[in-house]
Chains A and B, each alone.
Chain A
Amino acid sequence: GAGVSQSPRYKVTKRGQDVALRCDPISGHVSLYWYRQALGQGPEFLTYFNYEAQQDKSGLPNDRFSAERPEGSISTLTIQRTEQRDSAMYRCASSIGVSWETQYFGPGTRLLVL
């Protein structure tokens, strides 16, 4: 069966541009999580959704970052006016809901801001 997919896998953009990162969770998974992972570090929580509702966005670094999951399935993480410090691996994970800690991670999107 299909796992969590993310697109694009790599994104190179110029400083000041907006980027949209997509996550397609495992079918039927209620919860969807976004993380950012710097090189040599563990994932850092950004935000999560139950169905279409954003339950916790306390990890979003600033108001340039936003996320949505309008139909409770695919999610988009948007970064406006990108800065070089936004360069990182952005990972998405999903879980059934009840066993929320059993999160299945996607391959990530490597973002490079020049």
Chain B
Amino acid sequence: GQQLNQSPQSMFIQEGEDVSMNCTSSSIFNTWLWYKQDPGEGPVLLIALYKAGELTSNGRLTAQFGITRKDSFLNISASIPSDVGIYFCAGQPSGSARQLTFGSGTQLTVLP
């Protein structure tokens, strides 16, 4: 099946710092999505990207759909303690209708 390479696997940062994480694929994706998962909860959608080159913000979060359609990144600015969690990228492979492929996640820890 499709594979998404998400990096880094984990990050430890100081409160107030900026964070960047990314996902790459070996094949073209039509849609890129970023989710956050808190302990004991299901993933919650943060940002959805629909076309190559698109740059979208949601508060302190910014994500971009790579121009090759094979990658995406998520930036979090001025991190706060509640940013702690697992961040997943997900994408809709070209030709797959409504099937989402998820990355393996980035575990973010924010130190006070």
Chain A contact residues, CB within 8 Å of chain B: 4, 31, 33, 40-45, 48, 55-56, 58-59, 91, 93, 100-108
Contact = CB atoms under 8 A, between A and B. Distances in A.
B104 interface: yes
Contacts of B48: 101-102
Given A41-B102, A42-B105, A107-B41, 6 more contacts: A41-B105, A42-B4, A42-B102, A43-B100, A55-B98, A103-B45
A42 B97 contact: no
B42 A56 contact: no
A40 B104 contact: yes
B99 A41 contact: no
Contact of B102 (A44, A48, A104): A44
Nearest to A95: B98
A55 B100 contact: no
A103 B35 CA distance: 10
B92 to A, nearest CB: 7
Which of the listed residues B6, B88, B92, B100 has the most CB atoms from chain A within 10 Å of its own CB? B100
B103 A42 contact: yes
Contact of B100 (A40, A41, A45, A104): A45
A55 B104 contact: no
Contacts of A91: 42
Nearest to A6: B42
Contacts of B16: none
Contacts of B63: none
Nearest to B43: A105
A42 B42 CA distance: 11
Interface in B14-44: 31, 33, 40-44
Interface in B56-112: 88, 90, 92, 97-105
A45 B4 CA distance: 13
Contacts of A44: 102
